[in-house]
C-alpha cells in the first residue's frame, strides 16, 4: 500500500470535491491509511509540517471539523491558530476580505475556512497566498467530510466501487449530501437521495445520483447515510415538512428500517429521535464514531497533500509513503521521524 502517485500538477486548494479526480482521491485515502497506522504508535506526533502555519477560520459553529483540523495540524507539528467569528474582529464588522488580508500578513501556509456563504473559500483564496481548504461553505460543499466518509465506507465494507449509499433527509440544505454524491461518483459508487420532495432540490440528479421520496428505497442500499434536519438554514416560517413528528414517522431511520448487513452513517451533529432513532445511533451498525476518527487522519492527509512539496510530481513517478523512503520520513517508524 506504499506506492502513491502524485498528481500531474500539485493542487493549491481543496475548495470542492470536484477539484479531485479518482487518482487524487485514492492517493489521499492511501495517505490517510498510512497516517492511521503511524498514529497507533505511542508517540503520535509527526514532524511533517514542522515550521508551517495552519489557520482555522470558522464563521459557523463546528465541533468535529474544527477539532479534527486543529488536532490534524498539531499531529503534523504545524503551528496552528483557530479563529471563530465570535470574539474576533468579524464581530466588529470586518469584511471577510479584510480578515483574509490581515491573516495573510502572518504568512500562513494553509487557511481552513468554514463560512455560511457559498464561495467564501474562493474569496479567501483570491486574497492570500495560502493553500485554502473549504471546511463547509453554506449548503454548497464540504469536501473533507466526503473524503472521511469514503474512508469510513472503505474501512467498513472493504471497497468503494459498486457500493450503494442511500442519503436520507434534508438534502436541500446539505453541503454534505452534495459533496458525498460527487465523491461517490468519482470512486464508482452509487447513490440515491431519499426524502420528502420539499427537501430534495429539483435537478439534483445532474450530480449523478438517483432520487426517491419513498423511505423503503433505503432497503436496497449497503449504507444508509442520515442527514441532519438543518433548522438553521431554514428561514423562519418556512415549512419544509408538516411537523418534525411527521418527518420522523415517515423518514426517521429506525431499527425497523435497517436491514441486517447494512451500516448507518451520520455526519453529526445528530438530532436523536428526529432523523435517527437513538437505538440505531447507539447500535453496532452505526459508524458515527468511525467517521469522527477518520476525520482526523483524512484531514492530516489533506494538509499533507496540499503543503508538502512533491519533487516527483512533474515526472509522474511514484512516491513512497511506506516510511522507508525519504519523502515521508515522518512515517518511517524510527525515532528520528518523531518529535515528542
**Does residue 142 bind ligand ASP (CB under 6 A)?**
yes
Taking CB under 6 A as the criterion, the residue among 6, 143, 267, 323 binding ligand ASP is 267
Compute the least distance from the CB of residue 55 to ligand ASP, in Å.
19
DSSP-based helix, strand, coil % in the chain, nearest 5? 40, 15, 40
Minimum Å gap between C-beta 267 and ligand ASP is 4
DSSP calls for 224-254:
EEEPP--GGGSPTT--SSS-HHHHHHHH-B-
> Can you tell me the distance from the alpha carbon of 33 to that of 1, in angstroms, rounded to the nearest whole number?
9
Nearest residue (CB) to ligand ASP, 176 versus 265: 176
- Helices marked H in the chain — which ranges? 22-39, 64-75, 96-104, 120-127, 143-157, 175-186, 244-251, 278-281, 288-307
- Please name every residue paired with 164 in a beta bridge, in sequence order, or none if there are none: 190
Query: Least distance to ligand ASP from the beta carbon of 40, Å?
Result: 27
The half-sphere exposure of 27 on its side-chain side, counting CA atoms within 13 A, is 22
Query: Taking CB under 6 A as the rule, does residue 299 contact ligand ASP?
Result: no
The CA distance from 328 to 309, in Å, is 11
CA distance 279 to 120: 38
x-marked contacts with ligand ASP along 223-262 as a string, rule CB under 6 A: -----x-x--------------------------------
Q: For ligand ASP, give the closer residue by CB, 137 or 277.
A: 137
Q: Measured between alpha carbons, how far is 250 from 198 in angstroms, rounded to an integer?
A: 14
Please report how close the Cβ of residue 310 comes to ligand ASP at its closest, in angstroms.
Answer: 30
- The answer to whether residue 268 forms part of the interface with ligand ASP (CB under 6 A) is yes
Q: Which residue has the cell 460543499?
A: 141
Residue 230 CB, nearest approach to ligand ASP (Å): 6
78 DSSP 8-state letter: -
Query: Distance between CA atoms of 225 and 261, rounded to whole angstroms?
Result: 14
Number of shown-chain residues binding ligand ASP (CB under 6 A):
8
Q: How far is the CB of 246 from ligand ASP (least distance, A)?
A: 20
Q: Which is nearer to ligand ASP, 34 or 176 (CB)?
A: 176
x/- track of binding to ligand ASP for residues 102-141 (CB under 6 A): ----------------------------------x-----
Task: Compute the least distance from the CB of residue 152 to ligand ASP, in Å.
Answer: 14
Q: Which of residues 166-225 bind ligand ASP (CB under 6 A)?
A: 175-176
Query: Residue numbers of the site for ligand ASP (CB under 6 A)?
Result: 136, 142, 175-176, 228, 230, 267-268
Amino acid at each position: 500500500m506504499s506506492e502513491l502517485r502524485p498528481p500531474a500538477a500539485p493542487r493549491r486548494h481543496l475548495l470542492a470535491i470536484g477539484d479531485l479526480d479518482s487518482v487524487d482521491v485514492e492517493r489521499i485515502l492511501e495517505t490517510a491509511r498510512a497516517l492511521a497506522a503511524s498514529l497507533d504508535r505511542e508517540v503520535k506526533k509527526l514532524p511533517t509540517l514542522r515550521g508551517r502555519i495552519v489557520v482555522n477560520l470558522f464563521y459557523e459553529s463546528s465541533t468535529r471539523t474544527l477539532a479534527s483540523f486543529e488536532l490534524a495540524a498539531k499531529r503534523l507539528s504545524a503551528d496552528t491558530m483557530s479563529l471563530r467569528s465570535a470574539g474576533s474582529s468579524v464581530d466588529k464588522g470586518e469584511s471577510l476580505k479584510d480578515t483574509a488580508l490581515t491573516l495573510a500578513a502572518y504568512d500562513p501556509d494553509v487557511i481552513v475556512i468554514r463560512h455560511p456563504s457559498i464561495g467564501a473559500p474562493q474569496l479567501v483564496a483570491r486574497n492570500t497566498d495560502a493553500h485554502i481548504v473549504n471546511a463547509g461553505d453554506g449548503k454548497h460543499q464540504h469536501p473533507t467530510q466526503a473524503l472521511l466518509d469514503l474512508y469510513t465506507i472503505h474501512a467498513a465494507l472493504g471497497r468503494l466501487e459498486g457500493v450503494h449509499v442511500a442519503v436520507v433527509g434534508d438534502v436541500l440544505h446539505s453541503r454534505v449530501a452534495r459533496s458525498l454524491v460527487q465523491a461517490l461518483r468519482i470512486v464508482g459508487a452509487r447513490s440515491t437521495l431519499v426524502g420528502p420532495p420539499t427537501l430534495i432540490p429539483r435537478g439534483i440528479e445532474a450530480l449523478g445520483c438517483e432520487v426517491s421520496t419513498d423511505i423503503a428505497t433505503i432497503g436496497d442500499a449497503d449504507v444508509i447515510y442520515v442527514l441532519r434536519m438543518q433548522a438553521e438554514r431554514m428561514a423562519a416560517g418556512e415549512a419544509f415538512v408538516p411537523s418534525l413528528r411527521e418527518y420522523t414517522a415517515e423518514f426517521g431511520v429506525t431499527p425497523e428500517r435497517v436491514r441486517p448487513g447494512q451500516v448507518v452513517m451520520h455526519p453529526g451533529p445528530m438530532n436523536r429521535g428526529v432523523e435517527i432513532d437513538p437505538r440505531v445511533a447507539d447500535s453496532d451498525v452505526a459508524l458515527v464514531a468511525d467517521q469522527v476518527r477518520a476525520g482526523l487522519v483524512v484531514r492530516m492527509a489533506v494538509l499533507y497533500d496540499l503543503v508538502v512539496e512533491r519533487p516527483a510530481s512533474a515526472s509522474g513517478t511514484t512516491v513512497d509513503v511506506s516510511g522507508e523512503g525519504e519523502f515521508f520520513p515522518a512515517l518511517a517508524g524510527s525515532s528520528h521521524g518523531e518529535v515528542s
